[in-house]
Amino acid sequence: MTPTVCDLFERQVRERPDATAVRTSGRSWTYAEFGGTTARLAARLRRGGAGPGGIVGLVAPRGPQALTGIVAILRSGAACLPLDPDDPPLRNREILDGTGCRQVLAAAPVEWLPGAQLIDDPTLEDEEEAPPAAPDPLDLAYAITTSGSTGRPKVVGVPHEGLSNLVAASIEDLDLVRPDDVMLWTLAVTVDSTMHDVLMPLCCGGCVAVPDPGELPAAGMLRAVRALGATVLEIPAAVLGPYGGSLLPRLAEAGVRLVITGGSQLDGPGLADADPLVVCNGYGPTETSVAPLWYRCDKSTPRWVPIGRPIRGVRAYVLDEELNPVPDGAAGQLYIAGAGLARGYLGLPGRTAAAFLPDPFSDTPGRRMYATGDRVRRQPDGEYVFLGRTDDQIKISGFRVEIGEVEHALRGCPGVADAAVLLRRDAPGGAALVAFLAGTPLSDEEISGRLRDRLPRHMVPRFHVWLDRLPLNRPGKIDRAALAEMPFADARADRRRTDDVT
């Protein structure tokens, strides 16, 4: 049977008891210490009814307590359901009730959840360590909440099979982490990439470095790397693309050998110019176990970075609207199949059936594939290139426009560090493309003139709004909802005609 992440972690506890497993600015834990702490907490959870097939909530910010909670829940045999302590209690309560979760770990007392088990409960020292649970590869490992178009949050349930397949590929095939690496934990607990980032080093004998609380802007990442001796970290593509050219050389000087990125299309210069540091771009929706495709940047990498190739055990199909394969070089929707697929949306069988379709290309009955909603093309060399979302197309003057193509052209303009384009129907003079930009402001005439050299007239934004930086949401992607509400009274229209937008 394929080993789970629990099996791999427990092997490190046995074989490397004195190695450092977790490090903060204040103290460190060896594998023996961290293994003992998480084993006692796992035993307490099992006494309360946790085990394979169950779900345990986790209410904690990024920190050593949250890491203890993640590992303890997995070692109890249950699936980990991370919740943000700053989210509205009503929303968190709805998620717990919707998933049937009855046990919750918390970093501090929770007013709306008085029965939560505290992670740092001093009575745990008296808990007898019990043999760890042995979850089956098909048991759920974690559940991640995503927003739902109906207003009800969707909770994606991911089995151990997908997580352990990704971790094994990361260690053995992709060289993302080594036993002597220190992985800096940069993301929120509620982001699915966190499961990969913190469990990957713990499964190969590496160390997880936990920075001090708070946000980690580029300068904060650099300080944390130096203070904690980090050699690997993850930076969202929305940050790395516009700022990587200046940040990566400084990270390399500080001893970082590899930067993981993902979460959105990676579009930026200089990603392979900080030798010996390497950038690896991971692609994948939450429904496919974090990142089933990976691309390693090198000197030949274009600014619009490919999303890579499938890892072991994963299949990728590019299909047309009739679910027929398209030839290499042609555009189609990407479907993912194989070991990384989530079980589905917990408690939402209709939504699950609509997104997880029968796999017509599998020889095994009952296999499924996930419709990503992403338009891609497969290049002759086997690399996949992201073209945009199937639902990001808009129609202007009778022409279909890919928002991603417009944003890529904007990022190629001098002075533009980052760009996001929205269709704003509240624009003066009627609906229009609006470009939100960060960097050194150019005049409307200059930026529009440069875009007209690269884009058809109907694809050139009519308004430009310059910001200090584009807002990011919790997973590190550009917060388009915030931009949709942002006033642009100071934006200046160029003197072109108003495009008809339908």
pLDDT per position as a tens digit, 239-274 = 999 889 999 999 999 999 999 999 889 998 899 999
What CATH number does residue 156 fall under? Answer: 3.40.50.12780
What CATH number does residue 366 fall under? Answer: 2.30.38.10
- The token pair at 12 is 């490190």
**CA angle centred on 488, ends 484 and 494, rounded to 5°:** 115
Residue 499: pLDDT above 80? no
380 with 467, same domain?
A: no
269 occurs within a structural domain: no
Mean pLDDT score, 13-38: 97
pLDDT of res. 400: 65
201 with 330, same domain?
A: no
pLDDT band of 52, cuts 50, 70, 90? very high
Of 234, 265, 287, the one marking the end of a domain is 234
pLDDT of res. 496: 35
pLDDT per position as a tens digit, 360-414 = 999 999 999 999 999 999 999 999 999 988 876 666 545 567 788 899 899 999 9
pLDDT of res. 493: 38
**Closest by alpha carbon to 28, among 20, 18, 16, 17?**
20
3-state class (DSSP) for residue 267: strand
243 occurs within a structural domain: no
202 with 116, same domain?
A: yes
Q: Output 132 or 448, whichever has higher pLDDT.
A: 448
Percent of the chain topping pLDDT 90: 75
pLDDT of res. 455: 85
pLDDT band of 297, cuts 50, 70, 90? very high
340 with 464, same domain?
A: no
Q: Output 385 or 215, whichever has higher pLDDT.
A: 385
Residue 150: pLDDT above 60? no
Of 389, 413, 432, the one marking the end of a domain is 389
pLDDT per position as a tens digit, 412-448 = 999 999 999 998 878 887 778 999 999 999 998 999 9
245 occurs within a structural domain: no
pLDDT of res. 393: 65
pLDDT of res. 165: 97
pLDDT of res. 495: 31
pLDDT per position as a tens digit, 64-116 = 999 999 999 999 999 999 999 988 898 899 999 999 999 999 999 999 999 99
pLDDT of res. 216: 81
pLDDT per position as a tens digit, 313-355 = 999 999 999 999 999 999 999 999 999 999 999 999 999 999 9
**Closest by alpha carbon to 45, among 70, 71, 69, 76?**
76
78 with 31, same domain?
A: yes
241 occurs within a structural domain: no
Domain hosting residue 344, numbered range:
314-389
What CATH number does residue 427 fall under? Answer: 3.30.300.30
166 with 121, same domain?
A: yes
pLDDT per position as a tens digit, 193-203 = 999 999 999 99
Alpha-carbon gap, residue 135 to 98, rounded angstroms: 23
409 with 355, same domain?
A: no
261 occurs within a structural domain: no
pLDDT per position as a tens digit, 448-486 = 999 988 887 878 998 999 999 999 988 888 999 899 988
405 with 326, same domain?
A: no
Q: In whole numbers, what is the pLDDT of the chain averaged over residues?
A: 91
174 with 32, same domain?
A: yes
pLDDT of res. 151: 55
Q: Report which listed range, 132-136, 219-223, 288-292, is most confident.
A: 288-292
Percent of the chain topping pLDDT 70: 94
The length of the chain, given as a count of residues: 502
Task: Tell me if 407 sits within 8 A of 420, measured CB to CB.
Answer: yes
Which residues lie closer than 8 Å to 320 by C-beta, 6 or more apart?
326, 332, 333
pLDDT of res. 452: 87
Residue 152: pLDDT above 80? no
Of 234, 250, 284, the one marking the end of a domain is 234
Q: Tell me the DSSP string of 224-259.
A: HHHHHT-SEEE--HHHHHHHHHHHHHHHHHTT--EE
pLDDT of res. 488: 63
48 with 179, same domain?
A: yes
pLDDT of res. 500: 35
Q: Is 423 left (phi over 0), alpha (psi -120 to 50) or beta?
A: beta
Alpha-carbon gap, residue 55 to 96, rounded angstroms: 9
pLDDT of res. 127: 82
Mode of pairing for the β-strands spanning 293-296 and 384-389 = unpaired
How far the first Cα of the chain sits from its last, in Å, is: 55
56 with 36, same domain?
A: yes
Buried b (16+ CB within 10 A) or exposed e, 415-424: ebbbbbbbbb
296 occurs within a structural domain: no
Q: Name the residue with tokens 């300068």.
A: 219
Mean pLDDT score, 111-122: 93
pLDDT of res. 458: 77
The count of structural domains within the chain is 3
271 occurs within a structural domain: no
290 occurs within a structural domain: no
Residue 185: pLDDT above 70? yes
173 with 219, same domain?
A: yes
pLDDT of res. 217: 81
